[in-house]
């Protein structure tokens, strides 16, 4: 790859991150339609996120090693191709069984996303540009949230939710062709770095635990905020889906801005501080039924603080990884994040089924608070050394 960080490479990596998680943002944004038209219960809606991210968490350590072995180009083409297949299957699902199977298939792109894109940045982008490029490509996840929450939700209002999902599948397939044509061939397969330990160590272990708690909270908001808007705040399906879009736009700005600020010596403090801001965002969701506009402020705050914290953690991984281990270390931290995404909606789902959204948002605040404690404890230990 060219050592440039050119706009074309940044755009491709951003798109790959967007498609890696688009299916789950779509299921959250289309939640009111799925509950009404497909007969999916709120608890099953949470299970889609649990299955998808549970699969990603299991596959992540293997995905990181695969990326280190086959190279970023092959990995990105595989990521986008499987994303297209998973979205196509979701659009064809007649009921819960095939829906969950398609979501499980979508766990593979999630497992490949961070290792493949981080590996591409280390190979192609000068060190001084890696922070901004990482922030931009990490914002691709939130670009996916925006696409699911606004244009695709609006499209679903015209051609149905299946047509909207199939449109996303076709776009992912085109992106796979773009990656194959735009990126130079990977070098011949050679020896890879030492096998990653089953349990991460040092800074990678702290970042993995931080990401686990952070993922719990973010996943619950992504999965249930649209349904919350529809069931508790009286919003229509399109307006409720727009909450996911607003969160996505705020997440893009937060990830780009905070990743630029994540320079060595400063970056270590950011995860804990951003998680503290995310606690405030969850409290706003608790108060939203008494003051409807607060839900929009909360969506923005989740994007600016919680979502941005994940991008900062990936900048820290690249700063701390040993040579030849970027893919594996990225995968271990991502595995913690994906585990959180699997667990969070599983805990929130029964509360949503019972209509106890206030209790659910307090649980989210506690999860963000735990992430804050882990982040600040780690940096204080680092300073004492």
For position 195, what pLDDT does the model report? 57
* Spatial separation of the C-alpha atoms in residues 135 and 123, rounded to whole Å: 16
pLDDT beyond 50 at 2: no
Query: Highest mean pLDDT range out of 7-21, 134-148, 245-259, 316-330?
Result: 7-21
pLDDT beyond 60 at 116: yes
* Spatial separation of the C-alpha atoms in residues 2 and 96, rounded to whole Å: 44
292 alpha-carbon distance from chain centroid: 27
pLDDT one-digit tens code per residue, 150-199:
889 889 989 999 999 999 999 999 999 998 888 777 776 555 555 555 56
Q: Is 97 exposed, middle or buried (0-12, 13-18, 19+ CB in 10 A)?
A: exposed
Of residues 42 and 333, more confidently modeled: 333
For position 4, what pLDDT does the model report? 41
C-beta of residue 179 within 8 angstroms of C-beta of residue 77:
yes
For position 256, what pLDDT does the model report? 82
* Spatial separation of the C-alpha atoms in residues 23 and 60, rounded to whole Å: 18
pLDDT one-digit tens code per residue, 255-311:
888 877 777 777 888 999 999 999 999 999 999 998 889 999 999 999 999 998 988
For position 153, what pLDDT does the model report? 87
Phi-psi region of 101 (alpha: psi -120 to 50; beta: other; left: phi over 0): alpha
For position 33, what pLDDT does the model report? 84
Question: Which has the minimum average pLDDT: 106-110, 121-125, 202-206, 361-365?
Answer: 121-125
385 alpha-carbon distance from chain centroid: 32
For position 1, what pLDDT does the model report? 47
Percent of the chain having pLDDT more than 70? 93
For residues 61-85, give the mean pLDDT.
Answer: 89
* Spatial separation of the C-alpha atoms in residues 23 and 106, rounded to whole Å: 7
Entry pTM: 0.75
Percent of the chain having pLDDT more than 90? 38
* Spatial separation of the C-alpha atoms in residues 135 and 117, rounded to whole Å: 11
pLDDT band at 251 (very low <50, low <70, confident <90, very high): confident
Cα diameter, the chain = 60
Query: Highest mean pLDDT range out of 112-126, 239-253, 289-303?
Result: 289-303
For residues 311-327, give the mean pLDDT.
Answer: 76
For position 309, what pLDDT does the model report? 92
pLDDT one-digit tens code per residue, 190-229:
555 555 555 667 888 899 999 999 999 998 998 899 899 9
The separation between the first and the last C-alpha atoms of the chain, rounded to the nearest angstrom, is: 37
* Six token digits for residue 271: 């995860």
């Amino acid at each position: 790859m060219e050592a440039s960080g050119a706009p074309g490479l940044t755009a491709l990596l951003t798109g790959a991150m967007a498609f890696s998680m688009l299916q789950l943002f779509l299921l959250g944004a289309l939640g009111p339609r799925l509950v009404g038209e497909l007969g999916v219960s709120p608890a099953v809606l949470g299970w889609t996120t649990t299955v998808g991210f549970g699969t990603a968490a299991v596959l992540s350590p293997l995905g990181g090693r695969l990326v280190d072995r086959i190279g970023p180009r092959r990995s990105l083409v595989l990521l986008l191709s499987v994303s297209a297949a998973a979205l196509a299957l979701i659009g064809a699902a007649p009921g819960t069984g095939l829906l969950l199977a398609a979501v499980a298939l979508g766990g593979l792109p999630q497992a490949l996303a961070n290792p493949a894109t981080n590996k591409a940045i280390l190979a192609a982008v000068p060190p001084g540009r890696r922070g901004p490029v990482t922030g931009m490509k990490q914002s691709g996840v939130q670009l996916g949230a925006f696409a699911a929450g606004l244009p695709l939700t609006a499209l679903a209002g015209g051609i149905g939710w299946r047509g909207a999902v199939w449109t996303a599948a076709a776009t992912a397939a085109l992106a796979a062709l773009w990656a194959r044509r735009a990126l130079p061939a990977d070098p011949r397969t050679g020896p890879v770095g030492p096998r990653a330990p089953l349990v991460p160590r040092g800074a990678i272990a702290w970042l993995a635990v931080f990401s686990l708690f952070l993922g719990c909270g973010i996943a619950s908001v992504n999965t249930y905020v649209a349904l919350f808007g529809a069931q508790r705040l009286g919003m229509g399906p399109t307006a409720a889906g727009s909450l996911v879009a607003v969160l996505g736009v705020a997440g893009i700005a937060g990830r780009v801005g905070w990743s630029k600020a994540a320079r060595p010596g400063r970056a270590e403090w950011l995860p804990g501080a951003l998680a503290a801001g995310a606690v405030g965002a969850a409290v706003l969701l608790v108060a939203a039924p008494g003051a409807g506009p607060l839900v929009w402020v909360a969506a923005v705050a989740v994007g600016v603080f919680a979502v941005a914290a994940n991008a900062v953690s990936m900048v820290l991984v690249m700063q701390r990884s040993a040579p030849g281990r970027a893919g594996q270390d990225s995968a271990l931290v991502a595995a913690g994040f994906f585990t959180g995404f699997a667990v969070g909606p599983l805990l929130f789902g029964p509360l949503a089924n019972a209509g106890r959204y206030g209790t659910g948002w307090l649980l989210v605040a506690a999860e963000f608070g735990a992430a804050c404690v882990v982040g600040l404890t780690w940096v204080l230990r680092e300073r004492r050394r």
